[in-house]
Structure 1
Amino acid sequence: MEAPTFEQLADFVRQATGCSRNKIISPLTQFENDLGVTGDDGVELLEAVEKHFGIPLTNAEGQLCASFGLKSGEYLFHSEGWSLPLWWFGWGQKPIIHNFTVGELHAVLQAQSKV
């Protein structure tokens, strides 16, 4: 399977997030900070990217593939809504949220297309 070009991915992201066609999306564009994509919307976007481009981003258990390079306690998106997390009370560790970019997603698509 062939990975999309960056511009093909950017066009898809514009459409999927409801951005204007004139919105400039660069490899450094952050999903949360620049596009407002977070939580379940981020998960749904990744699922739509998988389906649209036919490149798996998750394994058989539904976990993100190793190409994302996430370690335990690391996430691509903040959760939606407000609640007191367990780490607030000293249980567990505080999650680490990456400033996930469109360029990083493109790199993962490139890597996964070769698997």
Structure 2
Amino acid sequence: MDPSLSQVIIFVHQFSKAPLASVHEQTLLEADLGITGDDGVELIEAAEKIFRVDFCSTEQSFSTIFSLKENEYLFNSEGLDLLGICRLFDWIRGIPRPVIRDLSVGQLHRALVEACNVHLLEA
């Protein structure tokens, strides 16, 4: 059975410890709730476990389910580059700056529903 939006909202509320009233379909995980880096990875892993889905199934990849393009990521890293040295070396080597797509609770819900549907097709 597909998770409802309200189930995903409650899950994000419990994970983030944010007030329930502040978590809704348009709430952004990183900008609004401060979920980034390892915390973002933990949220995705917890969602897979609780909603019994696999975002990296044989049918679809993680990038496909979350509609990520090349060089797009869901969360910023937690690394610290105070002087911009790492970014400078990436620029010299021609590595483009990663694009961070802030995931909303509604987008997470749609990804969970899609992953559930893929899981049903594989069964």
Same fold (TM over 0.5): yes
2:110 is the counterpart of 1:111: no
Match of 1:38 in 2: 36
Residues 65, 59 of structure 1: alpha-carbon distance in 2 compared, 3 angstrom cutoff: farther
Cα distance in 2 for residues equivalent to 1:4 and 1:42: 20
Larger-Rg structure? 2
Are 1:59 and 1:65, in contact at CA under 8 Å, matched by a contact in 2?
no
| Aligned residue type for 1:98 | R
Match of 1:73 in 2: 71
TM-score, structure 1 normalization = 0.86
Deviations 1:14-42 (A, max 9, x none): 1111223x432121110011000001100
CA shift at 1:101, angstroms?
A: 0.6
Match of 2:47 in 1: 49
- Number of residue pairs aligned between Structure 1 and Structure 2: 111
- Higher mean alpha-carbon deviation, 76-85 vs 98-107, is at 76-85
Are 2:53 and 2:112, in contact at CA under 8 Å, matched by a contact in 1?
yes
Deviations 1:82-106 (A, max 9, x none): 1223434353111011121111010
Match of 1:13 in 2: 12
Match of 1:91 in 2: 94
Structure 1: segments with no counterpart, 5+ residues: none
Moved over 4 A (4+): none
TM-score, structure 2 normalization = 0.81
Task: Among all aligned residue pairs of Structure 1 and Structure 2, give the percentage whose two residues are the same amino acid.
Answer: 38
Structure 2: segments with no counterpart, 5+ residues: 119-123
- Comparing both structures, which one devotes a greater share of its residues to helix? 2
| Aligned residue type for 1:53 | F
Cα distance in 2 for residues equivalent to 1:59 and 1:114: 11
